[in-house]
Amino acid sequence: MFKKSQRITTYPKQKRINRPMFVVTGYARSKGGALRYKVRDVNHHSKTDRKRGYITANQKYVVNVYYKTMPKHKRITVINPKGIYLYKTKSLRGQTKHFKKGTHLRVKKLVKHNLSTRYQLTNGKYVTVNKKLIIQGNY
């Protein structure tokens, strides 16, 4: 069980585009047997950037940053206020176009790249599947 005296920092519930992100670097179990993630903070413009610690693995509080499924109607919407870029390759190299917030895009398929995934659009180009930047469906 976590103790209040052991807390390094807290992360309040926030809107989707402002949620904190972590990289899981390991696993551990509490004395009671509950699973914990050993993590590194990757929120680049925050005071907690690069701090390490443990967070709960409870699915009520932790979700993947990237989509792992195709959108139901093969459409996505850009939700990032700064927009997203379109790329030539699945490694997200060769920026070709910028899409503003609110733009609707048609998805052809989900493509794996290393430990992440990308969406290939109907024109053959690629975009990120980061949930902080896009949302499945029309919004």
Q: What is the mean pLDDT of residues 14-31?
A: 89
Residues 17 and 52 in one domain: yes
**Do the domain assignments include residue 64?**
no
**Do the domain assignments include residue 21?**
yes
**Do the domain assignments include residue 117?**
yes
Residues 48 and 81 in one domain: no
Residues 50 and 93 in one domain: no
Over residues 83-125, the pLDDT tens digits come to 999 999 999 999 999 999 999 999 999 999 988 899 999 999 9
**Do the domain assignments include residue 63?**
no
Query: Could you tell me the CA-to-CA distances from 103 to 16, 44, 72, 79, 119 in Å, in that order?
Result: 17, 26, 17, 8, 15
Tell me the sheet residues that pair with 85.
98
**Do the domain assignments include residue 5?**
no
Residues 82 and 121 in one domain: yes
pLDDT of 7 above 90: no
pLDDT of 2 above 80: no
Residues 81 and 47 in one domain: no
Position 89 scores a pLDDT of 94
Two tokens at 118? Answer: 């990308």
Position 111 scores a pLDDT of 95
Note down the domain range covering 31.
Answer: 12-56
- Tokens 């590194």 correspond to 40
Confidence class for position 1, pLDDT limits 50, 70, 90? low
Residues 79 and 131 in one domain: yes
The percent of residues in the chain predicted with pLDDT above 70, rounded, is 99
- Quote the number of domains for the chain: 2
Position 136 scores a pLDDT of 94
**Do the domain assignments include residue 70?**
no
Whether 16 and 79 have beta carbons less than 8 Å apart is answered as: yes
Residues 46 and 90 in one domain: no
Total-model pTM: 0.83
